[in-house]
Amino acid sequence: MPRAPFITFEGVEGAGKTTLAQRLADWLHAQGVPVLLTREPGGSALGKQLRPILLHEPLDAWAELFLFLADRRQHTLQVILPALERGTWVLCDRYADSTLVYQGYGRGLDIALIQRLNALATADLTPDLTVLIDLPVQDALARANAPNRFEAETLAFHTRIREGYLQLAHAEPSRFLVLDGRLPVQTLQAALEQELRVRFLGD
Ligand code: Z5A
């Protein structure tokens, strides 16, 4: 059996990733498609312990990078790959692109090195589709409802994140679907459902 689709959701904090991923999971489920909704950090047993540290403890930038990578490696091997191999679609709220933009564009760590470390952490798994919800940083941060230490970063930091995402999308247009996060969530969901029908469901 070919492995099931792997779809990731990316964007600045408060962009609407969790909302859209949950709606899509519900829609796929209603279509009879087996689906797993998961997230980073925190999608594995190890990740559940790492998540509060990553979101709330002061960390050196390299220590932060290594913890996100440890979370990803464990999550990929224990949760994501087994699900994909048994034919379950996986929707993941943040994945390797988050590390490229937050630790690379945001913290200024070496991007080529992060790409190599991401390849190790993901066992070379690449999303079949990455949904980037793009909107002005101030609009997104005004919506964010779960405070963490990233939210306290400067506007310049969050602007680098947004620009980093747009550069990644520009470099890989066939993997990324960029949605305008200012639109109503129903409109975003309809656009995404249409994309999935064309790409994966053969409608
Ligand atoms: N991080 C990292 O640095 N490196 C890494 O490798 C990884 C992560 C994997 C995880 O935070 C932090 O870790 C993240 C990056 C860093 N921090 N930041 N910034 P998280 O998982 O706790 O939170 P988040 O992913 O950043 O965002 P969030 O607060 O969960 O937001 P969201 O999922 O994008 O948005 P939402 O919860 O779906 O929606 C927010 C509100 O907006 C909510 O009230 C919705 O009802 C509303 N909403 C949603 N969509 C719309 C639309 N279309 N219109 C109007 N209102 C909407």
Domain with residue 145: its CATH number is 3.40.50.300
Ligand 1 proximity of 188 Cβ (cutoff 6 Å): yes
CA–CA gap between residue 120 and residue 123 (Å, rounded): 5
Ligand 1 proximity of 145 Cβ (cutoff 6 Å): yes
**Residue 154: inside a domain, yes or no?**
yes
**Residue 62: inside a domain, yes or no?**
yes
Pocket probe for ligand 1: among 46, 150, 161, the residue whose CB has the most ligand atoms within 8 Å is: 150
Cα dihedral value 168, 171, 177, 182, nearest 10: 50
CA of 176 to the centre of ligand 1 (A): 18
CA–CA gap between residue 76 and residue 124 (Å, rounded): 10
pTM of the model: 0.98
**Residue 1: inside a domain, yes or no?**
no
Q: Is the pLDDT of residue 84 over 90?
A: yes
Ligand 1 proximity of 143 Cβ (cutoff 6 Å): yes
Q: Provide the β-strand partners of residue 179.
A: 133
**Residue 134: inside a domain, yes or no?**
yes
What pLDDT score does 145 carry? Answer: 86
CA–CA gap between residue 51 and residue 160 (Å, rounded): 23
Q: Are strands 6-10 and 89-93 parallel, antiparallel or unpaired?
A: parallel
By residue count, the chain amounts to 203
Mean pLDDT over residues 58-78, rounded? 98
Please count the structural domains in the chain: 1
In 3D space, the residue among 163, 20, 153, 146 whose CA is nearest the CA of residue 94 turns out to be 20
Tell which atom from ligand 1 comes closest to the C-alpha of 161: 19
**Residue 128: inside a domain, yes or no?**
yes
Q: How many angstroms separate the Cα of 154 from the Cα of each of 38, 54, 68, 102, 165?
A: 28, 18, 21, 13, 17
What pLDDT score does 203 carry? Answer: 73
Ligand 1 proximity of 17 Cβ (cutoff 6 Å): yes
What pLDDT score does 25 carry? Answer: 98
Q: Is the pLDDT of residue 93 over 90?
A: yes
**Residue 125: inside a domain, yes or no?**
yes
Range of the domain at 140: 6-201
Q: Is the pLDDT of residue 131 over 80?
A: yes
- Residue 177 pLDDT class (50, 70, 90 cuts): very high
